[in-house]
Structure 1
Amino acid sequence: MNSIVILGAGNVAFHLTRALIENTLNVRQIFNRTLEKAREIGEANRISYTDKISEIEKADLYIIACADSGIEEFSHYIPFDDVLVVHTSGSSPMSVLKGDYRKGVLYPLQTFSKERTLRYDNIPFFLEAEDPNDLKRLNDLANRISNEVHQLDFAGRMQVHMTGVWANNFVNHLYYIAGDICEKNNLPFDVLLPLIQETANKVIEMSPKDAQTGPAKRGDQVIINRHLEALEDDSRLLQIYQILTDSIKRVYEK
């Protein structure tokens, strides 16, 4: 791709811009409806930025990197037909792009925060395109960034995205719950960090099924009942604990 314009200025746009530029790909412009956010990425990477649809530059590739709810609206902003437009969502179909241009998807499977420095070469990218030639172009581009590039249709991509919700979003929420319990008992969240780190390390070296420990796996109902009693005053946490316990039990029942 000789030239790229990115629409959006959130976490994905921030990191994707950096990844493309670090791999000597020509990102020409950032567009966002909020100028301050576009300026943040533009000035950090020394590229132009705008919040005006009329100022969107002509490019070979347009990457819509925004929340799923905004993809369709952003897709109407691109006034050119002879270009390739992709979005970066795992759970939105290619058909959400509404222009007369060529269409595709460039989905990176990672959790992105502007405050974090990431390695881009090990982030899995999942690609889709209407035209085989565009799929090859996207494949060439993604391989400039990452060593892990796959072609996948919407049904498969949505399953991949859902696994990310299970493995990242839900797990992080459980960290929040654990941290809240620590705080209520005057304990720092840091006491959990060695446990969290070892849990992550184990699933790199062994299967999650083999790595599982704890009272639910052992079928230790005495300990489980004590935990349930401790949660009696919080029906929400009681329900979450019971659902997860039952799920683990079903995996290891003989």
Structure 2
Amino acid sequence: MLEVVILGTGNIAQHLFNTLTTYNDITVVQVVGRNPKALAYFGEKSDIQTSFKKIKTADLYIIAVSDNALGDVSHYLHGKKGVIAHTTGSISMNILQEHKNHGVFYPLQTFTKNQKVNFKTVPLCIEANNNESYSLLKKLAEVLSDNVYDITSEQRKKLHLAAVFINNFSNYVYQIGNDICEENNLSFDILKPLILETAKKATLFNPETVQTGPGRRNDLETIDIHKEQIKNIEHLKIYNVMTDAILSKYGKKL
């Protein structure tokens, strides 16, 4: 039986909790967080605690808090014998070096509360400071997911950067498209098949080979028509930067 303590109550903590509690040989013995309202979600299946000075003994401590709180929270685990791992993409494993057994258990996925995710498909990136810690994290990762990767801290930072471009930035562009539709009495649903097909192509081919659009084909006339229609200054900046990058990539410039 693997005993786990989760520190944090946000999106990643909630999704890890939901997944871990489906296995009979894994027990989440405690969830620790400062927000009583957020902690209530975990109360039916685990002990909950608002004080980080009252953390229970466990085999594994998963720190799932914001990046700027990671260092402070980890100090409360001083002297714990279990493996201590954080779930952050952009912070080095060395932030936990005061602990004898430590590592990283990073799920590379976008998480939203109350939106179910099939954890079997989530890439889990692991790293550890010794063989004992690595073995525990690897064993747990392979139970939860079919996609487990050994990733160093430096590689993980680059992976997180790539994920920001692919997920965060693309979602913001989706929002711009949604705004344009709403402003012109159009349904955003019309664009959803395009979103799905674009994502599908990105998983099947090198994205460079399937680039389309006026920038790709050097259609300056259409580009000018688009720019005339954009009234939002920030949106126009994004359009210009993206279009210029595509033109430059394929041998042309504005």
TM-score, normalised to structure 2, is 0.93
8 Å Cα contact 1:104-1:128 kept in structure 2? yes
Q: Is the 8 A contact 2:8 2:32 kept in 1?
A: yes
Contact 2:57/2:80, CA 8 A, preserved across alignment: no
8 Å CA contact retained: 2:107, 2:122: yes
Q: What's the counterpart of residue 200 of structure 1?
A: 199
1:176-195 superposed matches below 5 A: 176-195=175-194
Other-structure match for 1:249: 247
What is aligned with 1:34? Answer: 35
Q: Map Cα deviations across residues 44-66 of structure 1 (whole Å, 9 max, x no partner).
A: xx111111223311111100001
The offset of 1:152, in angstroms, is 1.4
8 A Cα contact 1:23 1:145, kept in partner:
no
For this pair of structures, how many residues does the alignment match? 251
Deviations 1:188-245 (A, max 9, x none): 22221121122122223322122221111111000001111222x3321111101111
SS for the counterpart of 2:117 is: coil
CA distance in 2, matches of 1:71, 1:218: 47
- Partner of residue 23, structure 1: 23
* 8 Å CA contact retained: 1:124, 1:150: yes
Structure 2 CA distance for aligned equivalents of residues 175 and 188 of structure 1: 13
Q: Is residue 54 of structure 2 the alignment partner of residue 55 of structure 1?
A: yes
Higher mean C-alpha deviation, range 4-13 or range 195-204: 195-204
| Percentage of matched positions with identical amino acids | 38
**2:81, 2:114 → 1: CA distance?**
36
Give structure 2 stretches of 5+ with no counterpart: none
Other-structure match for 2:130: 131
CA distance in 2: counterparts of 1:149 and 1:38, whole angstroms: 29
CA contact (8 A) 1:108 1:125 kept: yes
Aligned partner of residue 22 in structure 1, secondary structure: coil
CA contact 2:78–2:99 (8 Å) conserved in 1:
no
Please provide the CA RMSD for this pair.
Answer: 1.6
Distance in structure 1 (CA, Å) of the matches to 2:126 and 2:248: 35
Q: Where does 1:82-231 land on structure 2 (aligned, <5 Å)?
A: 82-97=81-96, 99-231=98-230
Structure 1 CA distance for aligned equivalents of residues 7 and 97 of structure 2 = 15
- Which is further off, 147-156 or 168-177? 147-156
CA displacement, residues 5-26 of structure 1 (integer Å, 9 cap, x when unaligned): 0000100000111222223322
Q: Distance in 2 between matches of 1:50 and 1:62?
A: 14
Q: Which runs of 5+ in 1 are unaligned?
A: none
